[in-house]
Structure 1
Amino acid sequence: MDSPFMEEIAQRLGACGIAVVRFEFPYMAARRLGGTRRPPDPQARLLDAWRAVHAQVRQQVTGPLAIGGKSMGGRMASLLADELRVDALVCLGYPFHPAGKPEKTRVEHLAELRTPTLILQGERDALGSRPEVETYRLSASIRLDWLAAADHDLKPLKSSGFTQAQHLQHCAEVIAALLSGNSR
């Protein structure tokens, strides 16, 4: 929750008037305490953690609420968006498949997703590049915003003329527009 990527995107969203709540899954919190790298928790535990955070936030937020995240956090949020009846879902660098395993897609549920969804994805993301993703059947509620020459962390090739900071600012502005009802 406090990676440089998450810190920067949260700051940029805050500057656009979007309040952000960050949390970490139990396995990440355990890493912090024990200092050793741990694999992610089973999906059921990750989803339960998301539900618990949503319940806490929902008690404090009376207006529109979007959920989302970076990579696996966004994927877990996408599995719950319809169930939790949130107003929007935002995924930064969605993991459409595991690295090096494009045949093992993680998209089945995305075909039926009803929640308005924004996926901000690097064109050359190793977990779902533009040519790969364009072959998937996705719900009409999903809008993809492609970031030129960017990887899974939305970092572009230097030769592209873009910087990661520019891409993150674009993300913040597009997210803020979506959440304010002024989608670009």
Structure 2
Amino acid sequence: MDSPFMDDIAARLAERGISVVRFEFPYMAMRREDGKRRPPNPQKQLLECWRQVYAQLRAEIPGKLAIGGKSMGGRMASLLADELDADALVCLGYPFYAVGKPEKPRVAHLAELETPTLIIQGERDALGDRPTVSGYALSPAIRLHWLAAADHDLKPLKASGLTHEQHLKATAERVAEFLRNLPA
């Protein structure tokens, strides 16, 4: 695991009593081993990886189990949340569309999603800014929380007067609150 962002978020959630299990998709593990930048594995392989991880965790962890991730990891989790019967879904910096292609949204499944979902998104995210995303038909199961002036990594513009630290703290607080308030 070589994501300072995810290290930070996992630590902040742990401080709030939320356990986080992380895993790497195969292409990420290969990149870490040989240092070569690689494209993601095909979607079918990414989804199968998620299914295997979830099955293993579900067998070992009693009680509620939420899934999610940052960017593509969250998108893959969103494609499986209902199938896996996850208790919740949390996505940070959701890739609603590819960079520069808001006319080709990847949101059809989000209109039908039944799993309680929290998406935390920067208002100026290049993969899903507030004006564009506000026009999408999203399921009532989805709660969308916007971070002012923030980008895909939840970093705000300096001119906003906000800090990345403030946004990361707010993100952890919002995620912990969402998970604690899931229906029994």
Taking structure 2 as the reference length, what is the TM-score of the superposition? 0.97
Distance 1:59 1:182 in 2: 21
Distance 2:84 2:171 in 1: 24
Distance 1:150 1:124 in 2: 6
Deviation at 1:182, TM superposition (A): 7.3
Distance 2:2 2:182 in 1: 29
1:27 counterpart letter in structure 2: Y
- Pair 1:68 & 2:72 matched: no
Q: How many residues align?
A: 183
Distance 2:148 2:53 in 1: 33
Distance 1:182 1:159 in 2: 36
TM-superposition CA deviations, 1:153-181 (whole Å, max 9, x none)? 00000111111111111111111111111
1:18 counterpart letter in structure 2: I
Deviation at 1:34, TM superposition (A): 1.9
Runs of 4+ in 1 over 2 A off after TM superposition: none
Distance 1:176 1:15 in 2: 10
Distance 1:88 1:123 in 2: 23
The share of aligned pairs that are identical, in percent, is 69
Distance 2:35 2:148 in 1: 36
Distance 1:37 1:129 in 2: 27
- Matches of residues 24-173 of structure 1 in structure 2 within 5 Å? 24-173=24-173
Distance 2:182 2:159 in 1: 32
Deviation at 1:2, TM superposition (A): 3.1
Correspondence for 1:175? 175
CA RMSD of aligned residues (A): 1.2
Three-state SS of the structure 2 residue aligned to 1:151 is coil
Distance 1:182 1:88 in 2: 8
- Runs of at least 5 residues in structure 2 that lack an aligned partner in the other structure: none
1:31 counterpart letter in structure 2: R
Distance 1:50 1:15 in 2: 25
Distance 2:52 2:164 in 1: 32
Distance 1:35 1:91 in 2: 27
Distance 2:120 2:134 in 1: 14
- Runs of at least 5 residues in structure 1 that lack an aligned partner in the other structure: none
Distance 1:14 1:163 in 2: 21
